[in-house]
Amino acid sequence: MNPTLRRALTTMTLAVLASTVSATAATAHPLGNFSVNHHTGLVLRPDRIDARVVVDRAEISALQERPAVDSDQDGTISDTEARAHAERTCSDLSRQLHLSVGGTRANWRQSSATLVYENGEAGLRTSRITCDLTAPADLTEPADIRAESHYDTQRIGWHEMTATGQGVRITQADVPATSTTRELRRYPQDPLASPLDQRTAALRSEPGQGAGALPAVAADLPGAGVAGEVLAKVTGAFDALVGAREITLPVGLLALLLALVLGASHAAMPGHGKTIMAAYLAGRRGTRRDAVTVGATV
């Protein structure tokens, strides 16, 4: 094989692989910069039902929310402003999380509310609101419990619900006992392949000792990691072509095609300023045509 051609192909391979690794290591939100994700964890006790509700906003969603948090519009968010916004949000959440025990509506009481920001992509930040709620309930007898979330139903994102018992045994449930995302802190490898949309929980309980937790659903959801496996196979094929002793015209064209596939896959990964461009379009209320133009350029 021509030494010059071999060196060129080797260099191209290393560049593609290096850029792919660096893109994978970026801190972009795994569900997209516009997503708003929800976790509702129910804990059944003999005299009450507790709920922990978490709202995880990705970079652009957190940016859009910021003016509502920064009440004095001075460009910074104080602890007082963060606490006040968390309390308002949790109050709204408590009204939108409908709970019934034995067919009778139960009312939530807010016990705590927090808002924290975490570093995201391109210098932007994600936000995380945690609400702890409690509702009085008599679970000393067998009971049917139903919970249904109507909060922020128009936004795309991950929605999960869990249920466990403390001093109450759960005999029937259509939700798992544990969170597959650790309360929205660790998403599956490819969450968009099978996004969870669990907004209701139907439970039956009876008095009993122990947690009475039902088995959790598998952490590896259907389709998780498919994109990564495909890219790994493409990369392996590219490596095999580069290592060939003789490169004919058809083989060279195939290598070029694989390079384009890897490059396009890399462009779809975090980085390349996509978050900054999305923030610009969101702020300027760009049209779909503007978005398509920017997307094609990226």
**pLDDT tens digits, one per residue of 246-297:** 566 766 676 666 556 555 554 444 444 444 445 444 444 444 554 454 455 4
- The whole-angstrom separation of Cα 228 and Cα 190 is 8
CA-nearest of 183, 182, 185, 145 to 165 is: 145
Domain boundaries, the chain: 3-26+225-297, 36-207
pLDDT digits (tens, 9 = 90+) for 111-167: 999 999 999 988 899 999 999 999 999 999 999 999 999 998 888 899 999 999 999
Supply 182's token pair.
Answer: 């650790």
- pLDDT higher at 288 or 178: 178
Sign of CA dihedral 282, 287, 290, 294: positive
Angle of the 288-297 helix axis to the 274-284 helix axis, nearest 10:
160
- Among the residue ranges 213-217, 219-223, 249-253, the one predicted with the least confidence is 219-223
Quote the tokens at residue 14: 């290393």
Rg (alpha carbons) of the chain, rounded to whole number:
24
Question: Is-contact 200 147, C-beta < 8 A?
Answer: yes
Q: Which amino acid is at 282?
A: A
2-16, 19-33, 67-81, range with the lowest pLDDT? 2-16
**Averaged pLDDT, 219-225:** 38
Is pLDDT of 14 > 60?
no
- Name the β-bridge partners of 182: none
